[in-house]
Amino acid sequence: MSRGLRNNNPGNIRRSKVRYRGEVHPSQDPEFRQFSAPEWGYRAIFVLLDTYRVRYGLRTVTQMISRWAPPTENRTQAYIDAVCRMTGLSPDEPLDTRDRATMVPLAAAISRVENGTAAVMRDVERGWALFSD
């Protein structure tokens, strides 16, 4: 099982000063967040992508993934290409981070790239419900 799935952190969100609902404290992982259940990890993906749009003006898959998985650590263009292929989104199409039909497949695609296995859609949907409440 991948590190992200073991941590219930399907987006492999790194530790920082920001706190997320459902996060486990203290985390047993020195670099990445841990969540109490997968849906809380998916909720964190939705929160972070929404923050990218609202706070930083990142509106496209290219902009968001370039921040999520920077070229200094990742094959960012391959990541963008994979996400767009899986979701049918255009890399430079503005996204509505409050739109379930856009964001659920996007989070599932991020999880697939990060963990090498298909997301459990029930967990992604539960994460969306926690985010949108």
> What pLDDT is stored for residue 27 in this prediction?
85
Judge contact between 21 and 105, C-beta under 8 A: no
**What is the residue extent of each domain of the chain?**
3-132
- The number of helices, as runs of H, and strands, as runs of E, in the chain is 6, 0
Per-residue pLDDT of the chain (133 residues; tens, 9 = 90+): 999 999 999 999 999 999 999 999 888 999 999 999 999 999 999 999 999 999 999 999 999 999 999 999 999 999 999 999 999 999 999 999 999 999 999 999 999 999 999 999 999 999 999 999 8
